[in-house]
Structure 1
Amino acid sequence: MTEQLIPETSGSTRQRTYVVAICTTAYVLSFIDRQALSLMIEPIKRDLSLTDTQFSLLSGLAFSLLYAVMGLPIAALADRRSRPVIISVGIALWSLATTLSGLSKSFAHMFLARVGVGIGEAALTPAAYSMFSDMFPKSRLGRALGVYALGSFIGGSAAFFIGGYVIGLVKDVDALSLPLVGDVHAWQLTFFILGLPGLLLALLFFLTVRDPARHGLARDASGAIRKGAMREVFAFLRSHTRTFACHVAGFSLYGMVLLGLMSWAPAFYMRTFGMSPTQVGYALGAVVLVANGAGVLFGGWLVDRLTHRGHTDGAMRAGVIGAVGMMLPVILFPHVRPVWLSLALLAVTMFFGSFAMPASTAAMQVLSPNQMRAQVSALFLLVLSLSAVGVGTTLVALVTDGLLGSEARIGTSLSLVYGIAGVLGTGLLWLGCAPFRDSMAREERLTGRDVQAAAPDGAVG
């Protein structure tokens, strides 16, 4: 079996750049919709009469459960059908669900709306990863993925800035009256403002993005293209059990720190330092934009640099480097004073924590056959969502509410939960480097598929 190389004529540099740009824009909106919830924790808890644990279910389980579960059938479609159409429908769905979050009058209503956000966002990332792998050479895939991952932090930063601005603007207004809706609180208005632009982006995506030709298709012994059915995906994963066990578990623990801090940092700074939502929005918006943005781009560059130097486990190595750099500051930042020093250590944590996004994705994409890439990504995102977003955010709340018994001790909870997760994640990623090298060599030896080549030169970055 020989993998078909993508010819130089399969899309211009301008086309490839546009696809990355519009996918990144969609990712920005998805994280704005997702992240704004954490900044509005106190007014939502007050108006809906929620506990920390209930709020963690809204920001964690409600989103992650359907995001993870629906990711599998949607990814299976993405490995066979038009990826731009799938992404367009997903953008429209999560944007509508975000808008409906602003109509919530109870925990149950908000929970269902966040479920809708999760279902819609499940359509974007696996399909986008799959398209990028058909457009860029493996030696430059890390930078393309880094640019895409940057969207999550631009979106997170924008959510903090926009949310902080809107909350500050209407902080003295008990309720606003809107046509057809009636009286709404400031946090509800924020959801309306954040959700509606996505409907326009969904239409633009549908009209302007073409599905790239698929390349790197695995074939069976007779030379026929394998269908990439889920049973074949699981068979492929079983053939690399040690590699994917270390990859999935290691990056999930690593991601637990990054995604958990995105959810809980606003509450920590409001409770510990007495900052207002507007102050927190501006401070964390700057941290996420600068530290996470720089980290994800540097992480993508590092993956490509290590790969270019001949390290077939370059993506795993980049993950180890980031996890090591993150461990100490994530333990220290909740316990130092003054606030600027805490924010500085948080920024260091976020910089190194962001390496996980391009590194984990590049590792999956270079090893997996084309017709399995979206499904392998979806399986990874399933575990990541349930563990990092679902369990990770809720575990902090349970430790704060149950073990420590005080909302004011959330900093201790963050250090304890995410410090342990960081150490375990680092160890697993280190242990996974050698199996990953073996898996790369075995794929080339057994299938004849050149896992280091599959796309034209000329990429973003």
Structure 2
Amino acid sequence: MVAIANTTGLTAGERTTTAAGLWTVAFLGVTAGVQMSDRGLQSILSPAIQASFGVSDAVIGALHGIAGILVASALAVPLARLADRYSRKSILLGLILLWGMLTALSGIAPDFELFFIGRAASGITEFAMIPVVYSLIPDLVSDRHRVPSNLAFAALMATGASAGFYFGGNLLEFAGTIAPADMEPWRAALLCLSLLALPLLTIGLLVHDPPRGLPTGSERREDAALGPFLRAHQRRILLFLGAAGGLAIAVQAVAPMAAMGLVRRYASDLVPTGHALGLITLVTSLGSLAVAGIVDRFLRPRLGEASRPAVMAAGATLAIPCLIWLGAAPTEQQALAMIALFLALTSTANALIPTILQDIVPAELRARSFAIYSFVIAAFCALGPLLTGGLSDRAVGGNLLLAMAIGGVPALAAAAMSASLMARQRGG
């Protein structure tokens, strides 16, 4: 890998948006979306994985939380540090290659322990890519196009995650028709997904690798090191993490195990349930990004820096009754409606988080800061499925939807309180 010298960079005011830059943002979004699709697919495959290995709900929760999020995000931090120093394009290509290999290895793991390790290792490549991309975007487009580019990348990533849900059941059925007689269909489904790494690697060789931007304005500081930065913004960061962390717990208490919960309570068919969850994930994710952009443009001139935490507080507060209703919903249609409304509100609350971090983090610390933020939030995310699985096993007799409500409502209340205090601090 070749180091990128800062002397070749441009200041924020000098950067312009080019076709190559926009094409690169689009490719990065598609790539992250493909990688994120294995989370939705794993959710759809969870009943088959659970039956294959004979593990409990709590263990499946650990698979989604600890392996899929916490371990992955922790090891993504040193990879992001490399991205602050060396060619980000080379690192991205390496992450794509590793993702394909590890996803394939997960499909052939002979026991749950090796499968768990494989999924954790695969998740590392997904978590490492996101901070690298958010480090790249400010160097690919002008400041005027930064927020739309952030939202477009998030939209493409959300589309991929939705596709994992939507096509998961179909892929499982297709895999059953091509799998050897001695191979379980869910294993073949993971092997099929891993093949998408090949065209991504081929196209990735053509992406634009921009020079790293020079710090300007508030970024031009002698204390542009991580420790001084964190100390200088300690109160704001703690409140921010309280808000984002509470939302993360609640979302992850629902999303990864929603398919299992619906199939178990309502004896649903997995394929149409997967289609419904895929469409819900796609529509709520894309819709929330559009809403967040409009709301930010409307509120920012009126509330200043208090506008974004105010949106987080409102989203968390309004999502509470959705989870309460989900826990007692008498029909699958009502449960799906509550999941949809819950995801729309929480996604809107979270949509502008990358922009907030880009605003306060110096250019030379961006990838590391995003990776560290991802790890801290991942610790909260891991609690979500762990709470759902543990409560299901030990408190509510396998009622996953009720377990989601019991675990998620207090987290939403904490998020709403933290975001309200943050808005008050920024507004004052």
Q: Provide TM-score, normalisation by structure 2.
A: 0.90
Once the two structures are superposed, the pairs formed by residues 266-345 of structure 1 within 5 Å of their partners are: 266-307=259-300, 309=302, 311-345=304-338
Hey, what's the Cα distance between the residues in 2 that align with 1:216 and 1:307? 24
Once the two structures are superposed, the pairs formed by residues 43-442 of structure 1 within 5 Å of their partners are: 43-136=48-141, 140-169=145-174, 176-177=179-180, 183-216=182-215, 218-220=219-221, 232-307=225-300, 309=302, 311-388=304-381, 390-404=382-396, 406-407=397-398, 409-436=399-426
Hey, what's the Cα distance between the residues in 2 that align with 1:277 and 1:31? 20
Hey, what's the Cα distance between the residues in 1 that align with 2:83 and 2:123? 17
Gaps of 5+ in 1: 439-461
Cα shift at 1:343: 1.3
Hey, what's the Cα distance between the residues in 1 that align with 2:45 and 2:356? 35
Amino acid in structure 1 at the alignment position of 2:166? F
- With over 3 angstroms needed to count, the CA separation of the structure-2 counterparts of 1:170 and 1:370, relative to structure 1, is closer
On the 8 A contact 1:247/1:360 being kept in 2, the answer is no
Hey, what's the Cα distance between the residues in 1 that align with 2:353 and 2:41? 25
Amino acid in structure 2 at the alignment position of 1:294? G
Cα shift at 1:95: 2.0
1:30-59 residue CA offsets vs partner (Å, 9 max, x unmatched): 211222111111111111111111212222
Amino acid in structure 1 at the alignment position of 2:414? L
Cα shift at 1:342: 2.0
Hey, what's the Cα distance between the residues in 1 that align with 2:307 and 2:97? 36
On the 8 A contact 1:253/1:421 being kept in 2, the answer is yes
1:355-405 residue CA offsets vs partner (Å, 9 max, x unmatched): 2443221111101111112222111100111211x221111111111222x
On the 8 A contact 2:323/2:342 being kept in 1, the answer is yes
On the 8 A contact 1:139/1:308 being kept in 2, the answer is no
Amino acid in structure 1 at the alignment position of 2:101? L
Cα shift at 1:72: 1.7
On the 8 A contact 1:260/1:392 being kept in 2, the answer is yes
Aligned-partner SS, 2:400: helix
On the 8 A contact 1:66/1:119 being kept in 2, the answer is yes
Aligned-partner SS, 2:182: strand
On the 8 A contact 1:296/1:351 being kept in 2, the answer is no
1:215-273 residue CA offsets vs partner (Å, 9 max, x unmatched): 3353445xxxx7x5xxx212211111110001112102112222332201101110111
Higher helix share: 2
On the 8 A contact 2:247/2:316 being kept in 1, the answer is yes
On the 8 A contact 2:288/2:351 being kept in 1, the answer is no
On the 8 A contact 1:167/1:277 being kept in 2, the answer is no
1:6 aligned partner? 12
CA RMSD of aligned residues (A): 2.4
Amino acid in structure 1 at the alignment position of 2:213? R
Amino acid in structure 2 at the alignment position of 1:196? L
- With over 3 angstroms needed to count, the CA separation of the structure-2 counterparts of 1:437 and 1:72, relative to structure 1, is farther
- With over 3 angstroms needed to count, the CA separation of the structure-2 counterparts of 1:350 and 1:436, relative to structure 1, is same
On the 8 A contact 2:388/2:403 being kept in 1, the answer is yes
Cα shift at 1:157: 1.6
Hey, what's the Cα distance between the residues in 1 that align with 2:351 and 2:96? 22
Q: Provide TM-score, normalisation by structure 1.
A: 0.84
